[in-house]
Structure 1
Amino acid sequence: MNSYDAWAHPRLAAQVLRPRRDGHSEVALRVESLQGAQQVLRLEQAIHALPGVRGVSVDAPARRVRVVWDTQRTTLPSLLRAFASMRCAAQPLRSDSIDDTRTREAHDMLKRMLVAGMFAMQVMTFAFVIYIGVVDFVDFTTRGLFRWLSLMATLPVVFYSTNLFTAGALRELRERRLGINLPVALAVWLVFLASAVNTVRGSGEIYFDSVTMFVFLLLAGRYVELRARHRSGALGDAVIDSTPLLAERRRPDGTLETVPAIELLPGDCVHIAEGSTVPADGVLESARVQVDEALLTGESTPVTRQRGEPLAAGSVLLTGPAQLRVEQGGEATAVARIGALGARARLAREASLQRGDAELRRFVARVLMLTVVTAIGWLLVDPSKAFASAVAVLVIACPCAFALTAPAALTRALGVLAQRGVLVADSAALAALDRVDLAVLDKTGTLTVPHLDRQDIEVLREGDASPVLAMAAALARESSHPVAQAVAQAAAGLPLLRASDVLVTPGGGISGRIDGHEWRLGHAGFALRGMESRPDDRLWLADDTGALAAFRLREQPREDAQATLDALRAEGMDLAISSGDTATRVAAVARALGVDAWHAAQTPEGKLALLKQARERGCVTLAVGDGTNDVPVLAGADVSAALATGTEVAQAQADLLLLHGHLHGLVEARTIARQVQYVIAQGRRWSLGYNLCAVPFAALGLVPPWLAAIGMSLSSLAVVANAWRIGRQGDAEPALRA
């Protein structure tokens, strides 16, 4: 890890400190080792005890700590040393990562809820005196006083706590759509205004207790849903924050300089100390190290990397030091792309939830119509009961539980899947995944993992296999294709060669210049360019004079491929393999995995045509791939999934990203998707059933508004609590049977 004293440099400190108007400074810190409430409490107490510290905020799920303090009394290096003394080493984050949006949202909701709760209790106390008057005499002056006191105590609830729903209702009216906020705002304001008028008149019923309790319980349900959504988003923050801010770059004279990690360029040589985090994607130039790649693979078991093998940003160096040759830095690293996909997933989910669905709009329209019909009916029969009955119907039939069902279920599902290594880029994919009946899978890199042994290299000119392999690896390192990565890994320990003017041709191979000479690595048609007729499945290294070597790669199914396909088959899903590889190799893999339908020598257009044919037959399709040539089929499928080890463009097209590189994430996603649909259907059945039972009593004037508010709010809380069943063991089976 870099010396703490480096943070005393003004230019470095300026990147992480955010000045505040009160003269203090604020910093966001990544603390990887936060575990348990006791450790968090001890850390807060220790940091609070430092001179000049004004506030400490710990977000344990995101592994973030924010500190507000006077830098004149405690320097940034001293603050970092204090964290280290608590065995919680802290990594400062860029000042632009100090995002107050989530905190402000939670604090605003909490304040509104607390105001509503505090004044609701006060209004209930005042109402108690009025209720006593029903069974015992209370003089009219006293009752009038407490009616006015109730009105005054209700004002903060209506004009502050309810503003969230009022603003939402006005926005829905401007957009000419029916949403959840409209009936809530109507109920609150109608009841409040009618009660206020009756208070001024000195006669008639008042429902201030119903209004305040209704708002408090509804805000409590929304606060629970909000906290669940924020907790789900914390995983994305943890991924984004994983790469360090500083790096030690080696100068041409061999000395080290501390630089911002975002300024690292391809070709830079970086020194990584033992226990530090890898700051950029690159190639290891040291002989041998052990790294923890749990962030990208989900596996806590240390991985051994040797010279020439890739290191990913965000990995932790367990043995060291090590030298890294940078290939990708800043926002181009794999972990940064995953973080960006996580952000895209959250934005897509929030946008889809804000738009609402047609079913909710119909529900709101029916509630409003039923309220109007109830009011008209009582005006014809007994006008004195029209208002109370209409309000009771409006409150008890308010579609809060109906509207909260989908957001609560999706929030829980996305959090559970993220913890299990499946990042959902489009929440709509979960609804389609439940209905998928055909999965079309790529072979190389998806179902199988290529492997190259040095004895499988045939050198066609004079010379040893090692120099030839080093040349092939120089080209292979420029591609993320699994075959190329297998060649690069086979060259571990050999001298590093650099390729320039590299061009990757999807479905063909890689071309580039090594020591001023142009070479091609790929299939026979690409590498040999018709100079020799050798139609086989080997990988060729050639130049303009002919072939230099042939590489026979062996394929083996991924460890979890068989179990994953068996599980998908057991759920009634048909399987097909569509690959650009030769028929012999595709058939062998299909046989080994028990897949009857397979298609070989497929171009991207051919794969897409197969998918379209399946969709014309009425199939709901799932496409799984990892390469650039899979992009059309990923974009054309109803649901698409890509492995995190695949190309960036494939990841960008995928609805699901399998972060751990394990196909079993598909089974996890399918199971969770079915549970989501079950919970949503269950919640909406409960909401409809509750309304069918309760609304007739409310319409007949048998349910007072305060009781309607309790029933509606409790049903909303029940829906949110029910969503937390998703992903819990023991609850999956009912969902699957439903």
Structure 2
Amino acid sequence: MNTYEAWAHPQLAAQVLRKRRDGHSEVALRVDALQGARQILRLEQVIHALPGVRRVSVDAPSKRVRVVWDRERTSLPALLQTFASMRCAAQPLRSDSIDDSRSREAHDMLKRLLVAGMCAMQVMTYAFVIYIGVVDFVDFTTRGLFRWLSLISTAPVVFYSAHPFVRGAWQELRERRLGINLPVALAVWLVFLASTLNTVRGSGDIYFDSVSMFVFLLLAGRYVELKARHRSGALGDAVIDSTPLLAERRRDDGSLETIPAIELLPGDRVHISEGAAVPADGLLESDTVQVDESLLSGESRPVCRQRGERLVAGSVLIDGPAELRVEHSGDETAAARVGALSTRTRVARNAASVVNDSELGRFVARVLLLTLATAVGWLIFEPSRAFESAVAVLVIACPCAFALTAPSALTRALGVLAQRGVLVADSSALARMANVDVAMFDKTGTLTEPHIDLAEVRTIGPSDKTAWLPLAAALARESSHPIARAVARATGPVAHQDMQDVRVSQGQGVAGQIGGHMLRLGHAAFAGTGNDASHAGEGDLWLADASGPLAAFRVSETLRADASQALQSMREEGMVTIMASGDTALRAATIASELGITEWHARCSPEDKLALLQHRRSQGHVTLAVGDGSNDAPVLAGADVSAALASGTELAQAHADFLLLHGRLHGLVDARHIACQVRDVIAQGRRWSLGYNLCAVPFAAFGLVPPWLAAIGMSVSSIVVVLNAWRIGRDDQVKPAMPL
């Protein structure tokens, strides 16, 4: 049974198909080969030509295709075969990934925008006739007719297109805060009601063209911002979709069976064909393979992996086949954790967007007071112009540009960083990142990568290395510490060991009982080697039992490929780099010297690292903590800004504001640059908004700006702010802010 035929199985199809109310089926597909508008158009035409296909929707940024069709006329395997024939192999996604919320939001906003646009054009046509009547005679019956037609055409704009602003205004009032929606809703309804009253009584000015244009232009700005926000979330979808749903598991007799990847268990052996995606995290049991890990690492070049090294779910096998021993599957894979983090980031960002901005609230309050003052002033001197001037002030001073500055900049920044392999779990951390002046790094696993050569292992006493090596490997696999992972990689695949009473001491070692025999793997003090520590160098890893040491692992370390360059770049920007390690003074000094770090601390417990960080914070410094292990979680949580590597533990990732997907420390430099650009763009946008209002509001207050011109000015101001935010990430280096 080939891969496509497997999807005919009811249990497998049930994972990916969603039954619609109209009786049709819907499936979401991951299509990695989507490239270019011409290919997408051709693919849509071919799929639409299949019997029973009702709708094809392509989301190019996230490389997703959704198909609605009649399964009685075209089977799911036949649909997948058609994609393959177009050289666009499709991978079905779980049915719970068919998230309509984003598409519904975009479609709803687009419909309201189109209604407002069509009605605004129609109202402007009617207004043209009325404006002609100012300079040339048009009989009163004709003018009255066109006033009523303008009212009818504006009603859908006010009651439908502008409804999100009204809903938002009520929400702001219930929460007792001043936001952007309140002045918008007031302007729309005041202008509409006053114009309606004048239309009914047949005298007075009407501003239907102004209100319809105002709503249309404001919706256009929001739609642009919405599409940018959706595009920035495409990376999270791509990571979530990368793991295949099917896997070829090897039975005990050596034959292969196709099963859902979610059913894989630790210890299962999986066969991966050339060009296929890795279905689970695990250890490679083949000699050497090349894999494409660009989705998680950001590195486009193939990576060579050897026997015993870890493969991550979602990476693609370039040459094969290969055999994999499963460690984690389903929601426990690295790709699933990154996808969950990306989803959490979007939720946090959406929640943050409705949090009260005190500065925005003060701005809105000033606009409302200024509008009231304008109305009162004109009521005293010339009551007939009070309403028009007050509306012009309310519209032209509407804080849309002010409110759009931060969301537009953050949306652009999060998308740029995601493309560069940096996920931002807390968008507010970007503001703090721009002010960081002290960065504290863990050593092992963060600045360095440990390596163990079995040829250099020294045995103690008469014991044979082949006897205790599987025991050391079993203990090492119980810990997520980088050195423990190095032991597991060095020993390679070993037989399963029945372990009991396992206890992991952060930064010290792991202990456990195997076959009634109590063993310890860790530093000399933890293993309890006593005077026998002289058999090996300081800081080596020891395996010992109750009777004494069994062996010593010589741990060597290599710097991460970009560690030196990244730290040098940070120092050039005025940041102080500190290394705090739990390792020995000799090793810490050696690494610090190689990296140019002048301040380093050795033999640090998690409490020691946190105390060092808090001391720096008490001196007024803004701190950044970078780590990858569970023992780094306290210092990550205590720092102003924190970052963790994707290869680190889940606990470290949970406390990190930034996640470095590719394991490259240069992602911190990118985050710093982008954070500075966000700071500059927000400052520019708010300066522009304030300057624009200082120049425009006096003209509106003195009755020199009609409401329709005020609407155009407000909209242009908002669009300028949104477009300025797209400058973020255009250059690798932060450049001086351009005046607006």
TM class, shorter-length = over 0.9
* 1:604 aligned partner: 606
| Kept in 1: contact 2:541–2:553 (CA 8 A) | yes
* 2:236 aligned partner: 236
* 1:702 aligned partner: 704
Deviation of the 1:252 alpha carbon: 3.4
**Which residues of 2 match residues 86-485 of structure 1 at below 5 A?**
86-462=86-462, 465=465, 468-485=468-485
* Counterpart residue identity of residue 618, structure 2: E
Structure 2 Cα separation of the partners of residues 566 and 711 of structure 1: 46
String of CA shifts for 1:514-559, please: whole Å, max 9, x gaps. 5664432110111226575559211111122211111121122212
Deviation of the 1:512 alpha carbon: 3.4
Deviation of the 1:413 alpha carbon: 0.1
User: Structure 1 residues 471, 2: closer, same or farther in 2, change over 3 A?
Assistant: farther
Structure 1 Cα separation of the partners of residues 19 and 140 of structure 2: 59
Deviation of the 1:29 alpha carbon: 0.5
* 1:47 aligned partner: 47
String of CA shifts for 1:252-276, please: whole Å, max 9, x gaps. 3443332222222222222222221
Q: Secondary structure at the residue paired with 2:652? A: helix
Structure 1 Cα separation of the partners of residues 58 and 450 of structure 2: 44
* 1:683 aligned partner: 685
Q: Secondary structure at the residue paired with 1:733? A: coil
* 1:520 aligned partner: 520
Structure 1 Cα separation of the partners of residues 273 and 323 of structure 2: 9
Structure 1 Cα separation of the partners of residues 140 and 296 of structure 2: 72
| Kept in 1: contact 2:529–2:544 (CA 8 A) | no
| Kept in 2: contact 1:293–1:303 (CA 8 A) | yes
* Counterpart residue identity of residue 271, structure 1: H
* 1:648 aligned partner: 650
Moved more, 168-177 or 695-704: 168-177
* 1:553 aligned partner: 555
Correspondence for 2:664 among 650, 662, 665: 662
| Kept in 2: contact 1:16–1:28 (CA 8 A) | yes
String of CA shifts for 1:108-153, please: whole Å, max 9, x gaps. 0000000000000000000000000111111110000000000000
Deviation of the 1:77 alpha carbon: 0.2
Structure 2 Cα separation of the partners of residues 133 and 102 of structure 1: 47
Structure 2 Cα separation of the partners of residues 229 and 462 of structure 1: 65
Structure 1 Cα separation of the partners of residues 498 and 727 of structure 2: 53
String of CA shifts for 1:612-642, please: whole Å, max 9, x gaps. 1111111111011111111100000000001
* Counterpart residue identity of residue 162, structure 1: A
| Kept in 2: contact 1:52–1:69 (CA 8 A) | yes
| Kept in 1: contact 2:396–2:697 (CA 8 A) | yes
Structure 2 Cα separation of the partners of residues 520 and 2 of structure 1: 47
* Counterpart residue identity of residue 215, structure 2: V
Structure 1 Cα separation of the partners of residues 739 and 514 of structure 2: 59
* Counterpart residue identity of residue 5, structure 1: E
Structure 1 Cα separation of the partners of residues 719 and 738 of structure 2: 24
User: Structure 1 residues 177, 106: closer, same or farther in 2, change over 3 A?
Assistant: same
Gaps of 5+ in 2: none
Residue 499 of structure 2 is aligned to residue 500 of structure 1: yes
Structure 1 Cα separation of the partners of residues 339 and 461 of structure 2: 47
* 1:591 aligned partner: 593
* Counterpart residue identity of residue 330, structure 2: G
| Kept in 2: contact 1:644–1:657 (CA 8 A) | yes
| Kept in 1: contact 2:177–2:356 (CA 8 A) | no
| Kept in 1: contact 2:291–2:317 (CA 8 A) | yes
Deviation of the 1:2 alpha carbon: 5.2
Structure 2 Cα separation of the partners of residues 404 and 628 of structure 1: 39
TM-score by length of 1: 0.97
Deviation of the 1:312 alpha carbon: 1.1
User: Structure 1 residues 242, 736: closer, same or farther in 2, change over 3 A?
Assistant: farther
Structure 2 Cα separation of the partners of residues 92 and 649 of structure 1: 31
Deviation of the 1:284 alpha carbon: 2.1
C-alpha root-mean-square deviation of aligned residues, in Å?
1.8
Structure 2 Cα separation of the partners of residues 715 and 105 of structure 1: 25
Structure 1 Cα separation of the partners of residues 524 and 739 of structure 2: 51
Q: Secondary structure at the residue paired with 1:26? A: strand
Deviation of the 1:356 alpha carbon: 3.4
Moved more, 241-250 or 466-475: 466-475
Gaps of 5+ in 1: none
* Counterpart residue identity of residue 36, structure 1: G
Moved more, 450-459 or 33-42: 450-459
Structure 1 Cα separation of the partners of residues 658 and 738 of structure 2: 21
| Kept in 1: contact 2:626–2:643 (CA 8 A) | yes
Aligned residues: 737
Deviation of the 1:308 alpha carbon: 2.3
Structure 2 Cα separation of the partners of residues 596 and 466 of structure 1: 43
| Kept in 1: contact 2:214–2:715 (CA 8 A) | yes
Q: State the identity as a percent.
A: 72
Structure 2 Cα separation of the partners of residues 27 and 372 of structure 1: 55
Moved more, 547-556 or 222-231: 547-556
